[in-house]
Amino acid sequence: MAAEMDPDSEQGLLKKETIPEVGEDAAASVNVLSEEEQDELRRELAKVEEEIQTLSQVLAAKEKYLAEIKKKLGINSLQELKQNLSKGWQDVTATHAYKKTSETLSQAGQKASAAFSSVGSAITKKLEDVKNSPTFKSFEERVENLKYKVGVNKPAGGDFGEVLNSAANATATEATTKQTEEDAQ
């Protein structure tokens, strides 16, 4: 077996350093650094700031070049937006959640369609039952008799609206005829 490592020994892989906790005076830990270490850190800080500045300039130049290329290709913001939306939609439709939701909605649509078809069939059957009922037959016969009395020479089974209109016209004609007869007397 391997010998256990002493956490305080310098043979460990990681050097143990204290990090100031929140609320501790961070400036106090900086004062612990020697002049030499502080100078080294200042040089490192200046170097990193210079690299950041250089990278910002390179990024700005690359963005300008990108804009020039897009302009030459005729790519504008609207086309980019369309491409991004198209890509986003493709990403969404490829997800498991979208596929599952789409499948569920499809099944629900099929069930709703079947239910509406069933309701339509039930309404049609009910209307047929009403049409074949004795009450409706009696009403239909009365309308036919009225039509006959009025003298409408259309074949039986005409449009129901036409039958009612002709009956109303016949009633109006009868009223006018009676009025004329009364005026003559």
Q: Who's near 147: CB < 8 A, 6+ residues apart?
A: 154, 163, 166, 167
How many angstroms separate the CA atoms of 173 and 169, rounded?
6
pLDDT band (50, 70, 90) for residue 175: low
Give me the pLDDT at residue 151, please.
72
Give me the pLDDT at residue 116, please.
85
Give me the pLDDT at residue 2, please.
44
The answer on pLDDT for 3 being more than 50 is: no
Whether pTM > 0.75 for this model: the answer is no
How many angstroms separate the CA atoms of 80 and 88, rounded?
12
Q: How high does pLDDT run on average in the chain? A: 77
pLDDT band (50, 70, 90) for residue 164: low
The answer on pLDDT for 47 being more than 50 is: yes
pLDDT tens-place string over residues 103-153: 999 988 888 888 888 888 888 888 888 878 888 778 888 888 887 778 755
Q: Looking at residue 33, what DSSP letter applies?
A: S
Which is more confidently placed, 50 or 158? 50
pLDDT tens-place string over residues 63-112: 999 989 988 888 888 888 888 899 898 988 889 888 899 899 998 888 88
Q: Looking at residue 5, what DSSP letter applies?
A: P
Contact 92, 98 (CB under 8 A): yes
User: Mean pLDDT over residues 166-174, rounded?
Assistant: 63
The answer on pLDDT for 55 being more than 90 is: yes
